[in-house]
Structure 1
Amino acid sequence: MDPTTAPTASTRINLRTSPQAKALIERAAALMGTSVSGFMLHNAYEAARCIVADNDNLVLSQTAFDAFIAACEDPAEPNEALRALMARR
């Protein structure tokens, strides 16, 4: 289910803004045919989703990707430092 269209709200987010920003947001919401809350939730959610996706994705060059795949397919033998790290609680 899309959180921006959930039938019931479970938490609140409060914010303060200038009268000019409020008026602009109210106008935009009206033009979109939605409430201010719906407008703000939709736009904040989409912005948050994009930011999180940008930070959750790892982009590699083809050379780096090839090196990563090679390391996965033929891993190095564990050294003493790795053994010590894995033995930590």
Structure 2
Amino acid sequence: MTTTNSERINLRASTEAKRVIENAASLLGTTVSAFMLGQAYEAAKRVLAEHELLILSARDRDQLLALLDNPPAPNAELRELLSRAE
């Protein structure tokens, strides 16, 4: 993560949350800002990765690959949809 100090994020926290965060940052020998940014940044990357990644079971993967290799014939709804796209 690159820190450039160009943007600002403000938030309010309960007294307890602030105390816990300050203690955790202190234990790691870092500032509260660096601790919070690092933790939020990593959590945000995990959330994005979870929404971008599709994990299939072996059975589902095999079924998907079989459908890609031998797609079913288009049904009436698909033919209608494709005719409107032309």
TM-score under structure 1 length normalisation: 0.74
Partner AA of 1:64 in structure 2:
D
Take 2:10 and 2:65, find their aligned partners in 1: how far apart are those partners?
A: 46
The aligned amino acid for 1:28 is A
**1:27: how far off?**
1.9
Shift of 1:88: 4.3
Query: Are positions 1:61 and 2:31 aligned together?
Result: no
Higher RCO structure, 1 or 2 (CA under 8 Å, sep 6+): 1
Amino-acid identity (%): 47
User: Which consecutive aligned stretches of 4+ in structure 1 deviate over 4 angstroms post-superposition?
Assistant: none
Unaligned runs of 5+ in 1: none
RMSD: 2.2
Offset, 1:55: 2.6
- Inter-partner Cα distance in structure 2 for 1:59 and 1:15: 34
Q: Distance in 2 between matches of 1:54 and 1:67?
A: 22
2:59 aligned partner, one-letter code = T
Change in Cα spacing, 1:88 to 1:37, as seen in structure 2 (3 Å) is farther
